[in-house]
A and B are shown apart, each in its own frame.
Chain A
């Protein structure tokens, strides 16, 4: 029996590769298995190699697997590009239609199965994906009937015949493969799962659900990979609570419309990726200067410019911390899992209102688009905190004096009132202003207002929930691995292997990127013999931030990957051994 299974399906984009993976994983998820999926795709609609790699386990998995057990190929390119990931007991199953050729230098078993032919005989070649799913089931000894529920859900509205045909395609793929299989495949068979129902979602789903739970009513956004799923989910859900999504003409409109809506008294946000965030920078400055709450989601992808729009990268970090001209208080949060994506999104809206600042929730492509099993989300942990928002009860104004919207206070946060409220009239401007919002160039006022604004977030590292995720059982580690966002899973797995080799390894994942929680991470750095910061960029941006705040420029080393693909655990194991 296998502890886990790594399965990949590949072909030309537009051939239904994604739905093959989707059906396979949905059924396994319902059986109670834990899954972790990663899609490799290109910035085009039809054509180009695409694949969906899915890891299945009876235990929680949070990284892409190093190797591969089963490769399902709909074209020769899929075999050529991916076969080297297969281990010696692995299996290639390929559609006979493209006359597949087995590479010389692999020990993996090779089967040509008439996916397309069987499907065509059943009525349409489109069902070749179902045949492939069936063939997979026969290898891993999973009864084809487990797919009935999922197939009914997907095809039910097309009628009973379509459902039956698809089930038949799965069964025939299963039967054909069963006859062909020689040798024992029990090493690829998973033990039964616990049957527990768990959510199966991409990180963007978790973020969108978090926004909904946080009470968002308007999302203003412009489509972009890999962020669009957030707006696509919310346009289905927001009308149910009286709100909506507006697809704006560009990202500048998206950010400024969200600012207008927050000023108007609702929770509103936008989501984008690097190019969109570049356009939003001036608006983020307006939010900071006018102390208007704003939440922006940045799903990082390969940069710069258009870069690698469908590939993994973590290179927006510096831009998110330092972007916008001048100096504003800003918060940057980096969840590492879909669960964190949910809770941190709720928290982002709370912080934006409590501190009256822009909050950037940083994700990355692997987290945003990777589909994985998610532990139950606890709604009792969702609390909506709106800070010093006043909905009324303001003393009438005397002689048209303005409400002190920017009153200098001890914690820097001033009372906030929204348009429509009696007695609350004040001015809001991106020009430096006095306590009532009126423009002022007075040096004393400038200093008082700047200090007040910057004071607001100075204590955030002390109150933010788990600013650093720590898996640090060693008082004196041989190696401290540090990362952020989606690399956490691969780091944890690398850590287990390094520990098995006798090394003492600690892991720290930075969740609050800015303001940086220096004193949370410093003891771990001080006590470790070696420190390596693992990140998907070319210049070691997180390492620079850590050195800037915590020091140790010589001790802190980098493990970098910027080829568009996520870290696999073995990359980190090998690089770590080279470093120490």
Chain B
């Protein structure tokens, strides 16, 4: 059976690997949402590359029937940017956990937002280090007790959404893993956005985080669609809303549809995928280059 059927469905993006996540983990829904979004935007599995980091959520690239690369801790973004630069026709999704993107990989996250290469970054945010069995994360709340903070975390919680809005990200969104419909729609919008999209997904860890549970999120999250007159094009408004709601909102928080992506701005960048380029420079061009040194 070929996977490149005429009209792709989410089933085309399923493979036969059983995820090793704990039963009830929020990441299952994120996986399903990516598969649905990919089908909904009309991708075939060959045209999608999922690049992931290290951690429980980093395993996701192995659970989607597409090209995938599971790299090193915190470096999914630079790898993903390299893939997209090599082949502009691919849809590239980078993904990983909050430790991957906001602790060890934070430098890359900020610069990927500034650079604005066209890819979609999905963070599965569970406010904890799961795969190393329960240590604090930059997303853990102050006072949060973990194996590495037995007396409670004394560091300030990081706000990736406020950071993204101030850093110049052109697509900033947040979602909750159980809202499969909303999450799928946001991922679709992220894929369709011409530039870098950051999607932070609250994806509860049922094993090590007994505070930020499914119920806790249901109680505390506000959908932006319920805020009258909310305008994702209003950067100042986005910041105000994030601050008012302590970041606990879902939906597209901010989107700049004007700014061109990095690849549209690079001088001389090929209009066809670089991966298809003929590598031989040719003797004539080489002679010209040599003469410049004479």
Contacts and interface: CB of A to CB of B under 8 A. Distances in A.
Interface of A: 29-30, 197-201, 205, 209, 212-215, 217-218, 220, 237-244, 246, 248-250, 252-254, 256-268, 282-283, 285-286, 290, 374, 376-377, 379-380, 382, 384, 396-400, 402, 418-431, 438-439
A244 B115 CA distance: 14
B46 A422 contact: yes
Nearest to B65: A400
B35 to A, nearest CB: 13
A420 B275 contact: yes
B83 A248 contact: no
A515 to B, nearest CB: 25
Contacts of A215: 277, 279-281
Interface in B242-294: 266-270, 272-275, 277, 279-281, 283, 286-287, 289-290, 293-294
Nearest to B110: A249
8 contacts: A239-B266, A246-B85, A253-B77, A253-B107, A266-B275, A379-B286, A425-B65, A428-B70
Q: Is the interface of B mostly helix, strand, loop or mixed?
A: mixed
A441 to B, nearest CB: 11
Contacts of A438: 17, 62
Nearest to A237: B289
Contact of A256 (B2, B4, B71, B86): B71
B16 A30 contact: no
A253 B290 contact: no
A249 B69 CA distance: 21
Nearest to B272: A242
Contacts of A197: 294
A422 B3 CA distance: 9
Nearest to B107: A249
Contact of B80 (A214, A260, A402, A423): A260
B269 A396 contact: no
Nearest to A245: B266
A424 B110 CA distance: 33
A260 B82 contact: yes
Contacts of B47: 420
Given A400-B16, A427-B70, A264 B87 contact: yes
Most chain B C-beta atoms within 10 Å of own C-beta, residue among A199, A253, A382, A402: A253
Contacts of B82: 218, 220, 256-264, 268
Interface in B31-63: 45-47, 49, 51, 61-62
A420 B46 contact: yes
Contact of A419 (B3, B90, B110, B279): B90
Most chain A C-beta atoms within 10 Å of own C-beta, residue among B75, B80, B82, B83: B82
B71 A286 contact: yes
A283 B75 contact: yes
Contact of A242 (B17, B270, B289): B270
A30 B294 contact: yes
Given A248-B111, A253-B108, A421-B46, A263 B75 contact: no
Contacts, number: 214
A239 B71 contact: no
Nearest to A289: B72
A214 B87 CA distance: 19
Leading 7 A-B pairs by shortest Cβ distance: A260-B82, A215-B279, A264-B86, A239-B268, A242-B270, A265-B275, A261-B82
A177 to B, nearest CB: 29
Most chain B C-beta atoms within 10 Å of own C-beta, residue among A217, A220, A262: A217
Nearest to B66: A425
A212 B3 CA distance: 38
Nearest to B270: A242
Contacts of A398: 1
A233 to B, nearest CB: 10
Contacts of A400: 1, 3, 14-16, 65
Nearest to A197: B294
A399 B46 contact: no
Contacts of B286: 213, 379, 382
Most chain A C-beta atoms within 10 Å of own C-beta, residue among B85, B86, B274: B86
A246 B111 CA distance: 12
A200 B201 CA distance: 56
A261 B85 contact: yes
B221 interface: no
Contact of B293 (A220, A374, A396, A422): A374
B267 A199 contact: no
Interface in B14-30: 14-17
B2 to A, nearest CB: 5
B79 to A, nearest CB: 4
Contacts of B275: 264-266, 418, 420
A553 B218 CA distance: 71
B70 A256 contact: no
B68 interface: yes
Given A215-B280, A419-B49, A430-B71, A242 B111 contact: no
A345 to B, nearest CB: 13
B146 interface: no
A241 B274 CA distance: 9
Given A239-B269, A424-B46, 15 more contacts: A213-B281, A213-B286, A215-B277, A217-B277, A218-B82, A242-B277, A243-B268, A252-B75, A256-B71, A263-B86, A264-B83, A266-B274, A397-B3, A428-B70, A429-B61
B79 A263 contact: yes
Contact of B1 (A267, A399, A420): A399
Contact of A257 (B4, B81, B89, B283): B81
Contacts of A218: 82, 85-86, 274
B46 A256 contact: no
A465 to B, nearest CB: 20
A142 to B, nearest CB: 19
B85 A283 contact: no
Nearest to A380: B283
A267 B67 contact: no
B267 to A, nearest CB: 5
A97 to B, nearest CB: 35
Contacts of A421: 46
A239 B267 contact: yes
A423 B67 CA distance: 10
Nearest to B12: A400
Interface in B105-125: 107-108, 110-111, 115
Contacts of B66: 425
Contact of A260 (B4, B81, B268, B279): B81
Contacts of B152: none
B87 A201 contact: no
Contact of B266 (A240, A244, A426, A428): A244
B111 A249 contact: yes
A400 B35 CA distance: 15
B79 A260 contact: yes
B111 A256 contact: no
Contact of A427 (B62, B78, B267): B62
Contacts of A237: 289
A260 B62 contact: no
B51 A260 contact: yes
Interface in B85-111: 85-87, 89-90, 107-108, 110-111
A214 B279 contact: yes
A333 to B, nearest CB: 20
B84 interface: yes
A491 to B, nearest CB: 26
Contact of B84 (A214, A264, A282, A397): A264
